[in-house]
Structure 1
Amino acid sequence: MRIPYIMTPGPTEVSENVRIARSIRCTNPDLDNKFYDFYKETCNRLGKVLNTKNEVRVLCGEGILGLEAACASLTEKGDRVLVIDNGIFGEGFADFIRLYCGKVVFFKADRKHAINIEDLKEFLDKDNDFKYATVVHCDTPSGVLNDISKICPLLKKYGILTVVDSVAAMGGENLEVDKWNIDIVIGGSQKCISAPPGLTIVSISKDAFSSMENRKSPIGSFYCNLLAWKNYYEDKWFPYTPPVSDIYGLREAVDNILKDKEILNRHKNIASSTRYAVRKAGLDLYTEDGYSSTVTVIQVPDGIQDNKLREYMEENYDVMIAGSFGYLKGEVIRIGHMGENARYDKVSYTLYALQQSLEKFGFKCACDMSSCFLNSVKNTENNHYKHNLVCQ
């Protein structure tokens, strides 16, 4: 089977050492005490990525599992929950909250912009009686990045627990869980972490665990019960059998991140240079601010069908990029420059393939996108180098 370059905003390319790690001989994780140590060490290393001393767990299920588990574990019947909505996944939290009989209150914002902190503060000054609030770090369908470094501390000032979907940002954007007062943050293996799909990463604060322990009613789920994981190591008991090979691969992917001291700068430089090349070519970005370092979302030019464009790219240039869904279906295309995709050569070639495909369908680019991208990268890195010299 021919597999193209996967330049989508997740799943992403997986490095060879991660693939090899997944081929290690399996043990019985429920009975092998050494695996409990391995799992705990993996969680601790993830804690370093997240800059947290909170408990970290790896759950068997794609990132959506973590979103539902957070809502299942915190929500009781009648709880008022604030859903901060400026994107498809932001709004989607409401479905999980309603599923567990919570009362959803929306703070809605323009989906082409990051959340305005002053507007949120004004809203909270009038109504802040919420058990917890949900917010998306990077809303992948639109590429908008929300400033959780300001949003979460603001919520905590009002005594509101914070739940953050960082599935499309964790590992590619700075994340300071403890400093930013994040009670639960959720990530996924297949995005910036660049392991295969199938695992959720979740960190859980003492306040979040306390809220779960002091519920009046039991958590209405087994698989989505985060409290069941609290004392797994002391008890030497997993709530369900962990996927050993997936966790071996995840550990290697996490080590790749920890060894890569320039990973966040590289994501940032690639993202800004991609946006520069896209604009210079005469294309329009979807968002107007709050740009993510992990995904670029481009409006499809008039007269071009996004699915035909993407099919042509894949068939002729071996590059897969993504469309979107919901209200953005057919309106935008998305390039994922996250994790193993955040490499200069891969993004340069992707922009070349995109330009050739656009011109095939009648859109004439105003510049050579690949060259514009590489020139911008060079200028950005030179400025970064000069800045470091001055700082030293």
Structure 2
Amino acid sequence: MDTAVDSSVTSCAAPAKGEPYLLTPGPLTTALSTKEAMLRDWGSWDGDFRAMTTQLRRSLLEIAGDTAGNYDCVPLQGSGSYCVEAMLGSLVPRDGHALVLANGAYGKRIATTLGYLGRRHTVLDKGDYLPPRGSEVERMLDADPSITHVVAVHCETSSGILNPIEEIAAATAKKGRKLLIDSMSAFGAVPLDVRHLQCEAFVSSANKCIEGVPGFGFVIARKGALLEAKGRSHSLSLDVYDQWDVMNRTGQWRFTPPTHTVAAFIEALRLHALEGGQAGRLARYAHNRDVLVAGMHELGFEPLLDAHWRSPIIVTFFAPADPAFRFEHFYDLMKQQGFIIYPGKLTVVDSFRVGCIGQVDADVMRRVVVACAQALRTMGVEHAAPPGVALEERQLLAQQV
């Protein structure tokens, strides 16, 4: 066993010299051995690379809990949004009707994509950060029997909210409809086990909780749904059925695959298993979040969400009310100290986000808090407390949930 790799998993050594930590929902900071896996060139038609493709498909199905062999994994070149569009265009029939559960940018992007595809859709818009509930889904499905599919985002990183996907799945199944899940920023850390959660398909990406690098995503779908998708896609490149069919017959990707990204992902999968799989990864990310939130509280920062809805993926904090605080300056000061954070996406009050995923651990989170304190001192911000309207909005959120 390579002890250097083991150490990188448990202690999350610093990135390469000059590289900041990427505290975002992906791309993210990766292990050195994952980077090193990209130093070799691979032939896309070669048997060794075909074996790597087979291995990644099998490993992802194992993480998804597909012990019965009812599902299959279809990797696709491109970003996560490519794979979401591929799933929607291949699995929602042209005469189908999708109910989109939106509470942030990615739910809204799903609705926009369906519009481009010419697929009928209805949107349950919960605003920036209220969770869609199973009871709401049931009412809407009862009210409109024409709805064939429900589309939900597992973790909406606009706010960091972890949506109640289990109750959404139960409500969808109860009403006899099909569930599609965007689990881009959750799968691999947050449980998504197809033995216990009924879904037609879900999508995720190489550069999220498995801690690979950008270049491809994947659709995990029922084999029956994949068979039904034949001839349905609007796009040759994004045809999930055709990609699946060719891979099963030849072991190859239809078009030039991201060979180096696949090689990195194989190493990332090894490290994922070494850490204890989904449960081990969730434990580290959740601890990262808790250490971060506790430290930021001491500085006066307030998180948007209460603990029940706060994901282990990324945390949204209200911006301080102090007039000396400007996010652009704060961002630059954090970057100078080696940390890349994320701007906020709330519409009512200013905010920013700090990711908890990637090759980071609790020690890194403590250093983030120290860097935040230093940045506030440099800016002349006396206290990080948010404006009163932010706390009022959070209280309203708690009442509505």
Unaligned runs of 5+ in 1: 368-392
Structure 1 CA distance, aligned partners of 2:319 and 2:151? 30
Deviation track 1:95-114 (CA, whole Å, cap 9, x = no partner) reads 11111111110122243332
| 1:235 matched residue in structure 2 | 249
Q: 1:22 Cα shift? A: 1.2
How many pairs does the alignment contain?
359
Structure 1 CA distance, aligned partners of 2:257 and 2:384? 51
Structure 2 CA distance, aligned partners of 1:158 and 1:258? 36
Q: 1:39 Cα shift? A: 0.7
Greater mean alpha carbon deviation, residues 147-156 or residues 60-69? 147-156
Q: Which AA in structure 2 matches 1:362?
A: G
Structure 2 CA distance, aligned partners of 1:56 and 1:86? 27
Structure 1 residue 25 and structure 2 residue 44: aligned?
Answer: no
Q: 1:366 Cα shift? A: 8.1
| 1:163 matched residue in structure 2 | 180
Structure 2 CA distance, aligned partners of 1:318 and 1:180? 39
Q: 1:146 Cα shift? A: 0.6
Q: Is the 8 A contact 2:77 2:258 kept in 1?
A: yes
**Counterpart secondary structure, 1:231:** helix
Q: 1:324 Cα shift? A: 3.1
Structure 2 CA distance, aligned partners of 1:199 and 1:310? 29
Structure 1 residue 300 and structure 2 residue 319: aligned?
Answer: yes
| 1:266 matched residue in structure 2 | 284
| 1:339 matched residue in structure 2 | 358
Q: How does 1:60-71 map to 2 (within 5 A)?
A: 60-71=77-88
Greater mean alpha carbon deviation, residues 225-234 or residues 304-313? 225-234
Q: Is the 8 A contact 1:7 1:337 kept in 2?
A: yes
Aligned with residue 322 of structure 1, among 304, 329, 342: 342
Structure 1 CA distance, aligned partners of 2:48 and 2:371? 47
Q: How does 1:1-392 map to 2 (within 5 A)?
A: 2-27=18-43, 29-30=44-45, 32-52=46-66, 53=69, 54-213=71-230, 218-236=232-250, 237-261=252-276, 262-288=280-306, 289-302=308-321, 303=323, 304-315=325-336, 317-325=337-345, 327=347, 331-341=350-360, 343-365=361-383
Q: Which AA in structure 1 matches 2:176?
A: G
Structure 2 CA distance, aligned partners of 1:253 and 1:21? 9
| 1:386 matched residue in structure 2 | none
**Counterpart secondary structure, 2:196:** coil
Identity of aligned residues (%): 21
Q: Which AA in structure 2 matches 1:252?
A: E
Structure 1 CA distance, aligned partners of 2:377 and 2:47? 58
Deviation track 1:176-227 (CA, whole Å, cap 9, x = no partner) reads 13320122211122222222212112211124214313xxx64210111100
**Counterpart secondary structure, 1:133:** strand
Q: 1:287 Cα shift? A: 2.7
Greater mean alpha carbon deviation, residues 66-75 or residues 264-273? 264-273
**Counterpart secondary structure, 1:327:** coil
| 1:390 matched residue in structure 2 | none
Q: 1:165 Cα shift? A: 1.0
Classify 1:331/1:301 alpha carbon distance in 2 versus 1 (closer, same or farther; 3 Å).
same
**Counterpart secondary structure, 1:36:** helix
Unaligned runs of 5+ in 2: 1-16, 386-401
Q: Which AA in structure 2 matches 1:336?
A: G
Q: 1:86 Cα shift? A: 1.2
- TM-score, scaled relative to structure 1: 0.85
Classify 1:208/1:305 alpha carbon distance in 2 versus 1 (closer, same or farther; 3 Å).
farther
Deviation track 1:240-260 (CA, whole Å, cap 9, x = no partner) reads 121211101011101111111
Superposition CA RMSD, Å: 2.2
Deviation track 1:58-113 (CA, whole Å, cap 9, x = no partner) reads 21111111111011112344421110011111121011111111111012224333
Deviation track 1:34-70 (CA, whole Å, cap 9, x = no partner) reads 4322211111111222223421122111111111101
**Counterpart secondary structure, 1:363:** coil
Q: 1:230 Cα shift? A: 2.2
Classify 1:212/1:285 alpha carbon distance in 2 versus 1 (closer, same or farther; 3 Å).
same
